[in-house]
Amino acid sequence: MTKPHAEPPSKTVIITGGAGGGIGGGVSAVMAEAGWNIVIVDIDLEAGRGLSEQLARQGLSAAFFGADITLPGCAEQAVSFANSQFGGVDALVNNAGIGLVKDIAEVSDEDYRRVFSVNIDAAYRFSRAVVRAMPASGGAIVNISSVHALATCPGYTVYAATKGAIDAFTRALAVDCGPRRIRVNCIHPGLVPSPQNRDLIGRFADDVDAWLNTYTLKKQLLANLPEARQVGELVRFFLGGAASAITGQSIAIDGGTSVMLYERGS
């Protein structure tokens, strides 16, 4: 019988936006529980400190670096912090992102720049900094994109553009980094329950839970929303030894939304 791949000890991963109540927090928890040293990078100081302390109380290895990832030099500072805390960096999860739902005619230059700055510019800067710092033995990067990179809805022009850019960036970065033994892969989450998403839905729906129930029944092949920890488990797979021959790939975790040309029940 083939033994499961065990994660090597003392590996360190930087997770941007890793303190949130959605995907970021799920990824951070899963990677810490898997025995990795995690460096949570987030602008939310209260959430970041709270999560890192909570994980530490569980005997897990976590450190928090509070910063605005859009600022020049932030990525290099985060890498230096990881080096000081854990002696190096072996992996990166570009998870941080913000949304924008606005008709293109109403999008300001400031809106546009802000979404691109967080969603793609920071991913580029963090990837560059981590690639420079990784050991000669290599490492791995996972970019969190979205199903909006594949198909989208009215009002998501700018957001979808950033997520499509992340998808293309993943493939190109994998080509550049292959000779360095660095693997790069991408995940397209669908609608993941989170405070941020619930707040967004609440702007146009009186009953958020009823809206989510209708969404799963009509917009997904599977009648259950993907959970943040499930995204975290997929990240863990891509960063681990079982994925040692996989690079430049993208996969959706969306209950089947992205493959549908119809609505269930129609």
User: Token digits for 260?
Assistant: 């549908």
Q: Which two tokens stand for residue 227?
A: 């959970």
DSSP 105: G
112 is catalytic: no
pTM: 0.93
Residue 62: the pLDDT is: 97
Q: Distance between CA 197 and CA 228 in Å, rounded? A: 12
Q: Are 261 and 150 in contact (CB under 8 A)?
A: no
Q: Packing angle between helix 74-86 and helix 122-133, nearest 10 degrees?
A: 40
Residue the block writes with tokens 């979205």: 146
Q: What are 213's two structure tokens?
A: 């129930």
User: How many CB atoms within 10 Å of residue 57?
Assistant: 8
Name the active-site residue from 112, 124, 156, 262: 156
The two tokens of residue 113 are 């720049």
What does the block give as tokens for 185? 């892969």
**Distance (Å, rounded) from C-alpha 79 to C-alpha 129?**
7
Where do the DSSP E strands lie in 73-156?
91-94, 139-144
Task: Report phi then psi at 132, rounded to 5.
Answer: -65, -30
Provide the token pair at 23.
């995907």
Strand spans (E) along the chain: 12-16, 37-42, 62-66, 91-94, 139-144, 182-189, 250-253
Task: Specify the CATH number of the domain 12-190+226-256.
Answer: 3.40.50.720
- pLDDT score for 2: 42
pLDDT of residue 266: 59
pLDDT for the residue 4: 46
Please give the structure tokens belonging to residue 223. 């009648």
CB 170 within 8 A of CB 140: no
Give residue-wise pLDDT tens across range 152-175.
Answer: 989 999 999 999 999 999 999 999
| 251 alpha carbon, distance to own chain's centre | 13
How is the chain split into domains, by residue range? 12-190+226-256
Strand, coil or helix: what is 180? Answer: helix
pLDDT of residue 198: 83
Amino acid at 130: V
Asked if 19 and 40 count as a contact pair (C-beta separation under 8 A), the reply is yes
Residues of the chain with pLDDT below 50 are 1-8
